[in-house]
Structure 1
Amino acid sequence: MKIVHLTYPVKENILSSKVVLALGFFDGVHLGHQKLIKRAKEIADQKNLPLVVMTFDRHPKEVYEDKKNFKYLETLEEKADKMSELGVDYLAVMPFTKEFSQIGAQDFVDNVIVKLNADTIVAGFDYTYGPKKIANMDRLPDYAKGRFDIVVMPKQIFAGKKIGSTEIRQAIKDGDMELAYELMGHHYVMSGIIGHGKRNGHKLGFPTANLIWADHKVIPKIGVYATKTEIDGKWYDSMTSVGYNVTIGQEKKIYIESNLFNFDEDVYGKPMKIKWYKYTRGEIKFANLDELKKQLEKDQEEIKAYFAE
């Protein structure tokens, strides 16, 4: 899969051939997104055309609602990994600027969709490309003027709830990793590099890899989790703490530290990924390090048993 960075107005086609174009922001590439992309892939295969997914470099709410601290389920790289797995040929990324947010619905159709050489558009029922009242999926045929086909995907429901990125972000903030998994169809992932921590875990016999992550990612609720952690292409069962190191008295900064089972190597500076499975307990302030060590032993035993099941 190739990532293409667009500019507005789109000046030339990504490909000389027609394309099937899936539209959406796709944060988290959850079950609803997957269904949409799989439908677009089916159409692309039937028509023997490449599949292009168009997304934005930031969530439109950052611009429309001036949300400076918007938290994401995925970085662009993480999103691209998921798209590649789903058989997408091109991920086209449009910068969502203040100027772009002000273009009209007809301009979006003429200078984005048509310029990208779309044969067929696939988008969710609630996709908008300007003010909701006029730039919605019901009105798209008026702007399309017969130049491309339109496929609208209905609302996706799980256990009576809409499958949406907002609901998934909330589940992660609540530490409900099982619900996040059920809505996403995959485990929440945080990636980054391994930085230098305080080595407190090392002194207690529980060495940890300290994750340095993209600061706009959703952070799970403070506590301890059953996780799997990838280093050098290999996944290890692990327990991961999200917290302030309250026993040690470091309360200013959140740390995400993974203790990998059956692993003890010097890996500073290397890439790392954490898959989140289950919240096991909240953060506790212990009277001393001996008490903390006993709890870590208990945590490890419990999480090993969880993965053994």
Structure 2
Amino acid sequence: MPSDKVSLSVRPRGKPLKKLPEEISAPYTGKAADLYSELATKSDISVHRLRIIKGSDGSLIPNSSDLSISQTGLRDQSTVYVKDLGPQIAWRTVFLVEYLGPIIIHPMLLALLPVSPPSTAQILSCVLITLHFVKRELETLFIHRFSAATMPARNIFKNSAHYWLLAGANIAYWIYKPNSPTARQHNSFFIYGGLLLFLLGEVGNLFTHITLRNLRSAGGKERGIPHGLGFDLVTCPNYMFETIAWTGILTVTWSLSTLLFVVVAVGQMGVWAGAKEKKYRREFGDKYTKKRSVILPGIW
């Protein structure tokens, strides 16, 4: 085998790619990302739509500049399978669209639904929920760094439904309609207590997002072990603080519609946090201090 080049057989997997070459040559010390770029150019398709799989064992070859072709286990005359993932959309775009729903819906329904001046709790509920999602939009624009550039375009409908319908229309209708529990909520203890929980949760969540951002360079995909506020307690303190913030909103709204969203959201975050704990243990081994709780200390 030549020491500087590998010749790879290329086969489609799933949907055929009309211009996919049957063979490609690449430098043995070249980057896996270069292999993606070369196949994307020759196939006349976006690199983000491609997934390359080793024919020998079916394992994924990541689109990474940190991994050489030799490190992937590919050898001269190896076979790779190329799959078209279909239309893609940027993660950042999906986040911006899905968070926009509650920002529009809550002020609109607060203006339309009440037949009398809204209560303090209704106004505060609108302010807190709107601020929460405005914060998410700003974090998406200025803080978050994504390990993957895109996701399947169809996901925007599923993700948006969660926020536009469950956090937007469903919560807004039941807390702003006349004679809702929120309209009758005048207990200062719950109003101020909820506001305090909201502020604690949002500030804590912001700091954890900044910590996670600083683990990765701009445009990089490197991973690190996070430390700092909350990270010694649970795997994902960003989800813990998110739960605290939404508990504050629930305390102010005093609505079953808010409770439904909190249960669904916390359940999903718990699943993600559990997967993150497994990933940390697998990736960092003894360097990582294992956590007993992934999202709520002593509970989950």
Larger radius of gyration: 2
The TM-score normalised by the length of structure 2 is: 0.21
The TM-score normalised by the length of structure 1 is: 0.21
Which of the pair is proportionally richer in helix? 2
Which of the pair is proportionally richer in strand? 1
